[in-house]
Amino acid sequence: MRKSTLIKVATQSILKNKMRTFLTMLGIVIGVAAVIVMVAVGYGAQESIQKQIGSLGTNMIMIMPGASAAGGVNQGAATFNRLTPADYEKLQRESLLLNAVSPVVFTQAQAISGAGNWRTRIQGVSTDYQTIRDWPVDVGTFFTEPDLRSARKVAVLGSTVAKQLFPGGDPIGQQMQIRDVPFTVMGVLRSKGQSAGGQDADDIILVPFTTAQSRLSGRQRVNQIIGSTSSAQDVPAAQEEIRSILRESHKLGDGDDDDFTIRNQDEIAAAASSTTKVMTLLLAAIASISLLVGGIGIMNIMLVSVTERTREIGIRMAIGARGSDVLTQFLIESVAISMLGGLIGVVIGFGGAAIVGRVTGWTTSTPAEAVVIAVAFSAAVGVFFGFYPARQAASLNPIQALRYE
C-alpha cells in the first residue's frame, strides 16, 4: 500500500473516535505541558541569577579573607582575616591590570534621622567602589579622596534607606546618625533592586572606609577587597597578579597556602547556575513521568483498537495488504496521536509558563531546544508504546482474523 493511503486510513481511524483519541492524547498533553512549564521556570531562574550577578559590577573580582590550611584541612573563605588597608594600597600601587580597587568594611547599625530610623547594612568603601559596581549616584555626589584621607563623616544612601529616613524629602545635606555618630548625606545611589543573594541591594549606606574603621567598626582589618578590570579577558590574568601581590604582602613562602580567596563573577554565576540546572533537570524528570503514563495510555488504547478492528485487519490482509502495511498504519496512528498531543502540550505549556510568571512574579524562559526535545520525546513515546500493538496487529493470521466476531 502507498504511504499516502496508509496515512489517509490512519487519519480516518483517529477521527472516527474523537473522544477516545482526545482522552488518549490527554496524558501526552499534560506531560509535555508540565515539562515546558518546569523548564521555563528553571531557565528563567538561571537568567534571573545571571542578571542579578551582572548587576554586581563590571568584570568584578572579589578578594575574601581565609582559605588558610590548618592540619592539612582547608578552612575556607572568611575563616582567618589578614586583609588590611595596606593590602588595598599595595594592590592600588602595583597592579597593572586592575583599573579600580576598593576595600570593603561591613557592619550593621541603626540609622536615625529627624523623620525616622532604619536598621541597615553599612559598607565602608573607597571612591573606586562606584566604578567597580557600576553604581552611579542618582541625586547629589559621591564622597571624594579628601573625604577618605580625612575620614569625614559623610554618607551616600541606597534608595530604600533614603525613602525610610527622609520620606518625601530631599536628603542631600541632611544630618543623620549611625551609632550616635553624626553623618551628612552627600548623595543617593541609583536603584538596583534585588541583589544576587535575594536581598534588597538598595538597603545600604556607603561611607568612607577610613570613617567606618575609626568610628563604626573599630577594626583595622577589612572584610573584603574588590577590584575590576578594563575587559573580561583580563580577569584571569588579574587574579594571578592579585595572588602574587597579596602573597608578597603577607610574606607567604613557596610552600605556604594562600590565606585569602579570590573569586570572580563567572565563578559565582557558574556555581549558582549549576544548582538551578540540577533543579531544572529534576523538575523536568518529574514532569516527564506523566509522558510515560500517557505512553502507557496510548499502548492500552491501541491494543483495544487492534481487538476491535481484528476483522477489518483480516479483510485488508485477505485482499493483499502485507503485515508491514498493517504495522505502519498502526504506528502512524500512535505517532500522530502523540505528536498532536505534544504540539497541544507545547501551546498549553507556553501559556502555563506565562501564567506562572504573571501570578508569582518569577522570570520564565523557554529555550527552543526544550520545545524540540519535548515534541521529539512525545513522538518517541508514540513509536515505543505503539510498536507492540502494531506488531500484534501485523502478526494476526488473516483466516483467524476473518472469523473473529
For 109-155, write each residue's pLDDT tens digit. Answer: 999 998 889 999 999 999 999 988 888 999 999 999 999 999 999 99
pTM greater than the 0.85 cutoff: no
Does 184 or 231 have the greater pLDDT score? 184
393 — pLDDT class (breaks 50, 70, 90): confident
Res 72: pLDDT: 46
Question: Looking at residue 220, what is its pLDDT?
Answer: 83
pLDDT at 73: 47
Contact indicator for 107, 204 with CB cutoff of 8 Å: no
Residues with Cβ within 8 Å of residue 188, at least 6 apart in sequence: 137, 138, 139, 140, 156, 157, 158, 159, 162, 171, 172
User: pLDDT tens-digit profile of 313-355?
Assistant: 677 777 776 777 777 777 777 778 888 888 888 888 888 888 8
Sequence-distant (≥ 6) Cβ neighbours of residue 353 within 8 angstroms: 36, 37, 40, 41, 364, 366
What are the phi and psi torsion angles at 319 (to 5°)?
-95, 15
Q: How confident is the model at residue 139, as a pLDDT?
A: 93
pLDDT for residue 104:
95
| Cβ–Cβ under 8 Å, residues 378 and 29 | no
Tell which wins on pLDDT, 367 or 101: 101
Residue 381: all three cell numbers together: 513515546
Tell me the three-class secondary structure of the chain, residue by residue. Answer: CCHHHHHHHHHHHHHHCHHHHHHHHHHHHHHHHHHHHHHHHHHHHHHHHHHHHHCCCCCEEEEEEECCEECCEECCECCCCCCCHHHHHHHHHHCCCEEEEEEEEEEEEEEECCCCEEEEEEEEECCCHHHHHCCCEEEECCCCHHHHHCCCCEEEECHHHHHHHCCCCCCCCCEEEECCEEEEEEEEECCCCECCCCCECCCEEEEEHHHHHHHHHCCCCCCEEEEEECCHHHHHHHHHHHHHHHHHHCCCCCCCCCCEEEEEHHHHHHHHHHHHHHHHHHHHHHHHHHHHHHHHHHHHHHHHHHHHCHHHHHHHHHCCCCHHHHHHHHHHHHHHHHHHHHHHHHHHHHHHHHHHHHHHCCCCCCCHHHHHHHHHHHHHHHHHHHHHHHHHHHCCCHHHHHHCC
Rounded CA-CA distance 83/160 in Å is 30
Residue 169 pLDDT level (bands cut at 50, 70, 90): confident
Length of the chain: 405
pLDDT at position 189: 94
pLDDT at 249 over 70: yes
**For the segment 61-104, what is each residue's pLDDT rounded down to a tens digit?**
999 987 644 444 444 544 567 899 999 999 999 999 999 999 99
Is pLDDT at 270 greater than 70 in this prediction? no
- Compute the average pLDDT of residues 220-224: 90
The one-letter amino acid at 270: A
| Domain boundaries of the chain, sorted by first residue | 3-52+270-403, 83-249
159 vs 364, residue with greater confidence? 159
User: What is the reported pLDDT for 402?
Assistant: 58
pLDDT band at residue 197 under the 50/70/90 scheme: low
Pair 362, 356: CB distance under 8 Å: yes
pLDDT, residue 185, reads: 96
